Amino acid sequence: MVIFGAGSGNPFFTTDTTAALRAAEINADILLKATKVDGVYDSDPNTNPNAKRYESLTYSHVLAKDLKVMDGTAIALCKDNSIPIMVFNLAVKDNIRRAMMGESIGTIVGDNCEVR
């Protein structure tokens, strides 16, 4: 497991894009996106109590629905390099370990994922 922290220091590159770029450079098996929520939702769960959390999504669905999980460049980089993305809540105890062990936490975004 390799953990990269910080951005690229380049204008127009978000930390998400930098993470996707580094994942592609090292030929990562997966990109773990630790965040404040427990996955990808169809709308902001902090403002919409009826927001639906997805278990899995395709890159294309994320881009077409403009879901705010990561910026479009980061999603496209992962799609082009077939790097799945796991989005999960960093604040939940042991979630990094659970993610590394392959447990089903959060949302998976990838080529062979069903929208569910």
Residue 62 has a pLDDT of 95
CA 114 centroid distance within chain: 15
> What residue segments make up the domains of the chain, in order of their start?
15-109
Across residues 78-99, what is the average pLDDT? 95
pLDDT exceeds cutoff 80 at 5: no
Q: Give pLDDT tens digits for 40-61.
A: 999 999 899 999 999 999 999 9
pTM reported for the whole predicted model? 0.90
In percent, the amount of the chain with pLDDT more than 90 equals: 71
The CATH H-level (homologous superfamily) assignment of domain 15-109 is Acetylglutamate kinase-like (3.40.1160.10)
Length of the chain: 116
Per-residue pLDDT for 115 more than 90?
no
Is the distance from CB of 48 to CB of 73 less than 8 angstroms?
no
Query: Could you give the CA distance from residue 1 to residue 30 in angstroms, rounded to a whole number?
Result: 10
- Give the N- to C-terminal CA distance of the chain in Å, as an integer: 28
Residue 3 CA, distance from chain mean position: 15
